[in-house]
Structure 1
Amino acid sequence: MKKYWVSNLRVFATLTVILLHAAGFGSLHVKKLAYTDWWICHIINVFGRFAVPVFVMLSGYLLIGKYEELNSFLKKRLTRIFVPFVIWSLVYIIWSNFKGQPNERTPWTIGDFTQKILSGGGGGSGHLWFVYMLLGIYAFTPIISRWIKGTENSPNPNIQQNEIRYFIFLWFVGNVVYTLVNKWFGFEIKFDIRYFTGFVGYFVLGYWLGKTGTKLSKSMLILLFLASWALAAYICYVVSWKAGKYVYDYTDYLSIPVMLMSVSIFLLFQKACDVDFLPRLMQELDITSYGVYLVHALILRILSREYQINFTWINPLVGISVHFLLTAVISYLIVKIISKIPKVGSWIVG
């Protein structure tokens, strides 16, 4: 049976990433924008922080336990994810060589282009860090999936749940507890649990939450999301205002408030949004979501630099809204047009 909440959440997260990036640059202007204008950029920026973790959680929910054979799995990821990523990395590098700032340009040699793609961020393609991370998780998926499937076949049904909880607990300790101890008390814990750090925890968490669900009501999940959003926004405001620059520590994707935002929105969609909402539109947006993610940063940049449509246009709320809407529509149209190219369209936009 089709899980409508998965498609609905993926589309929502894709649009939220565009909104986040439309507002994010304004939030960096601590004490340089009018106070109210900065807060508009900041609150939208913080709202969008759940989107990337949710993408990873959805991948875990959809892939873990369903992996069957290595070659077919890697081939599908190669054609669907890796090839479009390389193509758009080149597009960003080439575009920046013509239209970018001097520090965004890359010498016209194969070696320099290759180095930029391997090291990331070439030509203003910083948003593609997500693909670098996701490819690393996909490389690890066969191992995780075999572990999960192995525990499913255990005669004791509690074994799988206990092992997954153990994994998630150590992931939380490694990413949150270790970081806070270092920040608050000034020393580094040396017990090595690096294998439980990073976004792989969201990957396993998505599988687990997707399978177990929650007993929390929709109202409680909404309240948890709003409280986490407010907490992240306030703490980030306090430390950023004190430092005189934007401090990401408490809006980091692996911070407690963002974890709570991500978990609550994931469970809320699972519980309340499993409906066939605007089916044709949602199907279109879902199919094109990866391509839109690849394209959108270029459209954002063109609209901002060439036409000054950004958070400074009229006022931040209007500027961000128009920047977001135009980027979403133009990105979708570009991906849709490219996808119609016979034989090669899917290689370009996934």
Structure 2
Amino acid sequence: MTTVKPARNYGLDVLRVIACYMVIQVHSGEFYYIGPEAAVLNTADAVWVGWLNSLCRICVPLFVMISGFFLFPVNDVNTFFKKRFSRVAIPFAIWCVLYAFYQYFMGAADIKTALINILDIPVNYGVEIGHLWFVYMLLGLYLFAPILSPWIQSASKKNMEFYLVLWAIAFSLPYIHLIFPEIWGEAFWNHTPMLYYFSGFLGYVVLAVYIKRFHSEPKAWNYTLGIALLLLGYGITVYGFLHRLPTEKFVMTLELTWGFETINVAMMSAGAFLLIKNVKLSNPTSAFGKLLLDVSAKSYGVYLAHIMVLNFYHSLLDAHFDSAAIKVPLVAVCTFITTYVIIKILSYLPKSKWLVG
């Protein structure tokens, strides 16, 4: 009996490349609104960051949705963990070591601190390079996947919609808290209120599988709803950032509408997913098609490595342009291209999968 391999979904490759670039643009913008000790820089550049990077907040949710799309079913737990964890955790650990030495060579840490950071890798990060938080969250989703798999593969459409409605309400809590600071059992001594189990990134996984199971074929409403969700979500996201910019003193409160666990970011993520999930490549073997697939395949390596390259381009280009409207996308594009080239070169090394994913 022969098994027919399912046709490749090129739309998800496009989404993966877009998400990878958006991560880099988000980090390119941080220089222009985050001051010392996470104080807010209320400048014209910060306004540009609000306009440019509000849409880019969908980067992490898109990565999670793409992972969720391919995560199930989990039939053999040992094989699942061996494959997923080795591909994600080992490159992560190697790059934690590289970042520890990077900080040493850049003068941000002495050799003793660098070595201590390496020893701390099993605890948290090893060295505090912020974007690496994503890996812990992703590994947590992998740990839950075998438990979730039986339900997510067999749940009815209505049951999945029931979960997603409660997830959407949970993602509205950051705004409800502006009026009611504590609701549904919340208190300083209770960290698991009523909708706690419906919150978090797991909802993006369920949303992706819901779309895969019940709305995988392209329909006209996909594009209408996708555009509506994208525009409405972007409007809320950018308005919230710019409205709060003149008054908020610290980044943590400024970024209220930028949170990955907010209803508006979820709306944008769902909209982008619906718009692009069924994109076709007329000629996948063309130079463009091969490049797209290669960038998609190496996106994890680009994600892990890009901060080193980003810091270089920021130092190189920042003084040459007056406005963040130019600097943010320019630094992001240069970083994206250069990091991909570096990861491409590294991929030719023996056992390179342990380095680039």
Q: Using structure 1 for the length normalisation, give the TM-score.
A: 0.86
SS of match in other structure, 2:247: helix
1:243 aligns with 2:248: yes
SS of match in other structure, 2:257: coil
1:160 aligns with 2:156: yes
Q: Over the residues paired in the alignment, what is the CA RMSD in angstroms?
A: 2.4
Tell me which residue corresponds to 2:29. Answer: 23
Contact 2:229 2:271 in 1 (8 A): yes
Query: How does 1:83-94 map onto structure 2 within 5 Å?
Result: 83-94=90-101
124, 141, 145: which one pairs with 2:145? Answer: 141
Paired amino acid for 2:221? L
Contact 2:152 2:209 in 1 (8 A): no
Return the alpha-carbon distance in structure 2 between the equivalents of residues 296 and 335 of structure 1: 10
4+ aligned runs moved over 4 Å, structure 1: 29-34
Tell me which residue corresponds to 1:101. Answer: 108
Return the alpha-carbon distance in structure 1 between the equivalents of residues 13 and 70 of structure 2: 11
Tell me which residue corresponds to 1:294. Answer: 304
Structure 2 residues without counterparts, runs of 5 or longer:
1-6, 186-192
Per-residue CA distance 1:234-290 (angstroms, 9 max, x = gap): 12211232224441111101112111100000000024x233463111111111111
Tell me which residue corresponds to 1:156. Answer: none
Contact 1:24 1:42 in 2 (8 A): no
Return the alpha-carbon distance in structure 1 between the equivalents of residues 274 and 127 of structure 2: 37
Tell me which residue corresponds to 2:200. Answer: 198
Please state how far the C-alpha of 1:203 moved relative to its aligned partner. Answer: 0.9
1:274 aligns with 2:280: yes
Paired amino acid for 1:325? V
Please state how far the C-alpha of 1:184 moved relative to its aligned partner. Answer: 1.6
Tell me which residue corresponds to 2:344. Answer: 336
Return the alpha-carbon distance in structure 2 between the equivalents of residues 292 and 210 of structure 1: 27
Paired amino acid for 1:290? Y
Per-residue CA distance 1:41-87 (angstroms, 9 max, x = gap): 2212212001110110111111123x221111111112211100010
Distance 1:310 1:70, change over 3 A: farther
Instruction: Give the total of aligned pairs.
Output: 332
Return the alpha-carbon distance in structure 2 between the equivalents of residues 242 and 124 of structure 1: 29
Using the aligned pairs only, state the percent identity: 28
Tell me which residue corresponds to 1:155. Answer: none
Contact 1:61 1:208 in 2 (8 A): no
Return the alpha-carbon distance in structure 2 between the equivalents of residues 170 and 221 of structure 1: 21
Distance 1:266 1:312, change over 3 A: farther
Please state how far the C-alpha of 1:302 moved relative to its aligned partner. Answer: 2.5
Contact 1:20 1:48 in 2 (8 A): yes
169, 172, 190: which one pairs with 2:168? Answer: 172
Paired amino acid for 2:140? G
Query: How does 1:1-350 map onto structure 2 within 5 Å?
Result: 1-28=7-34, 32=41, 34-35=43-44, 37-65=45-73, 67-101=74-108, 107-109=113-115, 112-116=117-121, 118-120=123-125, 122-149=126-153, 151=154, 160-177=156-173, 179-190=174-185, 191-213=193-215, 216-246=221-251, 247-271=254-278, 273-276=279-282, 278-305=288-315, 307=316, 309-310=317-318, 313-342=321-350, 344-350=351-357
Return the alpha-carbon distance in structure 2 between the equivalents of residues 118 and 40 of structure 1: 37
Return the alpha-carbon distance in structure 1 between the equivalents of residues 226 and 183 of structure 2: 34
Q: Using structure 2 for the length normalisation, give the TM-score.
A: 0.85
Return the alpha-carbon distance in structure 2 between the equivalents of residues 52 and 106 of structure 1: 33
Return the alpha-carbon distance in structure 2 between the equivalents of residues 18 and 108 of structure 1: 25
